[in-house]
Chains A and B, each alone.
Chain A
């Protein structure tokens, strides 16, 4: 059955804004995005919301619901008590454009800074080969829908604007890890991740993992393994010595350039 849902929705732009109160008719089984659409249709025709697929797959509808970064279209009203007021704000790490819409171009800049996949020359028959287990390893990382909730929750940039130029963020550490674990990539992603991407800024407090709607274990499976790979290259004297005297040159294993 339907009921009256109380909502607080942030309205405004960079010159200022406030939480506005709305009461809207909703029914069981609906999601927060449905409720916002009804607010838009019945009470606030100019409410700005970014959304697209309504199926948790396009990553457009990221916002903060009761202070937690979540997808509007995947957050069920049944997760809340019917009497509870639901507060919706835009992402608080990126510049706001209007209402619930933020400018996420930070993430696209970071994507451009990341050197793309660089495979070696093809085999004699003009093919490239990879074993199935090696293909499978990166699959978890490919589930990313680029909702940027992880980028938004990460305190390195959320709480410190000045870190933005030097920090790529968890979504891109995922990409670095995927490529460094890719047997055919020729870049040395360990070097890149530690240097340009600011992997050392991450203090593995795991908020990115907590908010990822795809359930990707960002910290355990991408960031920590990348930190360990950086240690191999930069901080482990045994590995360094082995490389120097030619014992472990295999350690570079296909990585030829930075």
Chain B
């Protein structure tokens, strides 16, 4: 290679990096965990069954707009004729949201593209155009996925309210599933509200904070959340998979829901 750190004018050093630490560990961890999630989510999304265990609806299938099992569709079934799993109708929104998220981009560009694998570690590819061309140019639509994500957040919050019922849909009950769904929805909201596009929309885009005191205040709140955006990205990824797994295991009869009252 005669470009990059091995170019003719640069200090002649053979190694691609002289870092002695385990710089490969974070990208490897990201690679393994994301891959595992993608495999799990793909299997569950195509399965098209065991996503509803009254009163719990899996977040992968909410809102259930296709030909769903009884009790799962709280917003009707406008896509009844859809022959495949109902999850495939709606998963594009959370998927697109996370794929275009600034934090996830950093994570997968490093772990999957190795661009760069870690800081001051030479990347293997010899050409690079960043996000200037199709398809990566499309990352710029992130804010639209954010608008959709707010709707998804509202639907999932509604599901949590519905989870305060028992199997026969009587109100005032709670189980371990309710608790898991509640934690999940809190993490989803933290993730959604700490988004960089949210930060921009509420106030970041302004040139005069002084002329917009309310938006400035909102911006300072979102900015505080935004500092931990990456953490919320991970937590909410785990929580959403865990809730789905729990509901899957109840629905297929492997375990019994733990009822609190």
With beta carbons under 8 angstroms apart, the residue of B15, B121, B208 that contacts A253 is B208
B20 near A205: Cβ-Cβ < 8 Å: no
B18 near A202: Cβ-Cβ < 8 Å: no
A207 within 8 A of B: yes
Cα A235 to Cα B110 in complex, Å, equals 25
A155 near B115: Cβ-Cβ < 8 Å: yes
* Chain A, interface residues (CB within 8 Å), range: 35 or more
Of all chain B residues, the one with the shortest Cβ separation from A251 is B205
B105 near A204: Cβ-Cβ < 8 Å: yes
Chain B residues bordering chain A, tally (CB within 8 A): 56
Map CB proximity to A onto B138-177 as digits: 1 under 8 Å, 0 otherwise: 0011110000000000000000000000000000000000
A211 within 8 A of B: yes
A183 near B208: Cβ-Cβ < 8 Å: yes
B254 within 8 A of A: no
Query: Which residues on the B side are within 8 Å of A67 (C-beta)?
Result: 15, 17-20, 120-121
Cα A163 to Cα B11 in complex, Å, equals 19
With beta carbons under 8 angstroms apart, the residue of A68, A87, A180 that contacts B119 is A68
A232 within 8 A of B: yes
Map CB proximity to B onto A92-103 as digits: 1 under 8 Å, 0 otherwise: 111110000010
A82 within 8 A of B: no
B116 near A159: Cβ-Cβ < 8 Å: yes
| A87-B128 in contact given A64-B120, A93-B5, A131-B208 (Cβ < 8 Å) | no
Cα A236 to Cα B147 in complex, Å, equals 13
Chain B interface residues toward A at CB < 8 A? 3-5, 7-13, 15, 17-21, 102, 105-106, 109-110, 115-116, 119-123, 125-132, 136-137, 140-143, 196-197, 199-200, 204-210, 216, 226-227
Ordered by A's residue number, 26 sampled pairs between the chains whose C-beta atoms are within 8 Å are A67-B20, A67-B120, A68-B120, A89-B11, A89-B13, A90-B11, A92-B120, A131-B209, A155-B123, A156-B130, A159-B3, A159-B5, A163-B128, A201-B129, A203-B105, A203-B109, A203-B115, A204-B102, A225-B199, A228-B204, A228-B205, A229-B200, A229-B205, A231-B140, A253-B208, A255-B207
